[in-house]
Amino acid sequence: MTTTVRSTLCAAALLAASGLLVPGASFAQAQAQAQAPGTAARAQQERATCDGVQQDRAACLREAGAARQEAGRNGLTSASPGRYDANAMARCREQPAADRADCEARLQGGARTSTEGSVMGGGVIRETVTPLPAQPAAPAR
């Protein structure tokens, strides 16, 4: 048990013993600790989640365990939305020159772009429709 957690628990115990701790606050603290990464309650919650997803249960449990371990090392962070957009645009720059503008148009959205699907469903599909002018019909032979 870390010093911070130990001192927090000791302070909570002293306040509870003195009758100054509000019951709702102790419940909220217990709930927050149960939701913290690496706790047994959180592990049980993640196992229950793995029963309701469209993924191999063993793979789901493996990923949940790896995420829990990484969270224990404070290694799980989220990038800013701007960083995600920059990464997506960098992937567009790796496309052949003829496809690059279409890739960027799909990411930026707009009236001609539709988005459907989900990560849980297997992926997000972005489609941009670009109307082309009609080509003159070739003369019949």
- For residue range 74-112, list pLDDT tens digits in order: 887 877 878 888 999 999 999 999 999 888 888 888 778
**Tokens representing residue 76 in the block:** 């799980």
- Phi/psi for 78 (5° steps) reads -115, 140
Encoding tokens for residue 53?
């997803």
C-alpha–C-alpha distance, residues 80 and 86, integer Å:
10
Q: The dihedral of CA 62, 66, 69, 71: what is its sign?
A: negative
Q: Would you say 68 and 35 are in contact if contact means Cβ atoms under 8 Å apart?
A: no
What is this structure's pTM? Answer: 0.41
Per-residue confidence (pLDDT) for residue 97, from 0 to 100: 93
